[in-house]
Amino acid sequence: MIVHKKPEPTKVPGFWEIPSISFPIHIAKNFAKHVNILPDVEYWSPFLNSKTCNYLRDIFLESMILAPVSINGLMDQSYGIGSKRATGWSLQLSDMLSEFIIPHLNEKFCSAKTSTDWWQENPKKNQAWLPVQVSPLFRFMKYESGGEHYAHYDAGFMYEDGIHRTLKSFVIYLTTNQSGATRFIRNHLEDIDVWDRDHSDWNRRALKEEVLYSFLPQEGSILIFDHRICHDVDVYLGEENLPRIIIRGDIIYQAKSL
């Protein structure tokens, strides 16, 4: 059993106890996985059906929790136009999404070049990891016209039991937009061991020639990728005065040999 620890409300932007979910989570009837050119990146579209996206979008907006963060995703800095967030906590939503996500993920075997946090606090250097659950921490994000997020790297959360940790990020798109793509960025670190890489946030926009691949927001789709793959959110142009709304979450893995 995984023992989850709720974050301190003052340490995250817009902490939100997600209310009991009274609606069912439904996978799309035409659920499909798509092949792309990037290793350790998966794109499923559609994943959730439109009604489920509407429900999730509504509970977020009805919460009225919209904590602003900067273009580097920081709540204590106000430069640039970033996003507005509610950092949600829900074991119920974790269980509901796990039912549909975890069975479609494979065991993960890690090496020195694997772009995720498998090696820290891992004295036995376990390299094989099994996906077990969606984390109960969810970042609901709303981007308005001009909003963006400079290139950055996500980070794993290590559980105190030494067995469990998050290794992958996911983005569920709750809106369809013609801008504000999630883009994977060339950083020339792939030949460096992961523990020797510089994972600092970028302080500038990525150039067009640095973009490896991009995914425009499509309602109901999900993007799943290793934490330490460099990515950004391109400038959202705010078409038709509609926001770009996503859920950012994490996948918990368990060391296979323990």
Closest residue by Cα to residue 184 from 247, 226, 140, 222:
226
* Mean pLDDT score, 71-100: 95
Q: Is the pLDDT of residue 164 over 60?
A: yes
Instruction: Decide which of 3.30.1360.20, 2.60.260.20, 3.30.465.10, 2.60.120.620 is the CATH code for 12-255.
Output: 2.60.120.620
Please identify which residue in the block is written with the tokens 């993007």: 223
pLDDT band at 118 (very low <50, low <70, confident <90, very high): very high
| Residues in a beta bridge with 131 | 253
Looking at the chain, the whole-number percentage of residues with pLDDT higher than 70 is 100
pTM for the whole thing? 0.97
Task: Round the average pLDDT of the chain to a whole number and report it.
Answer: 96
pLDDT band at 36 (very low <50, low <70, confident <90, very high): confident
* Mean pLDDT score, 240-258: 94
Q: What are phi and psi of 202, to 5 degrees?
A: -75, 155
* Mean pLDDT score, 152-180: 98
Residue 109 CA to residue 43 CA, distance in Å, equals 20
The domain ranges of the chain are 12-255
Give residue-wise pLDDT tens across range 183-229. Answer: 999 999 999 999 999 999 999 999 999 999 999 999 999 999 999 99
pLDDT band at 258 (very low <50, low <70, confident <90, very high): low
Q: What is the reported pLDDT for 257?
A: 76
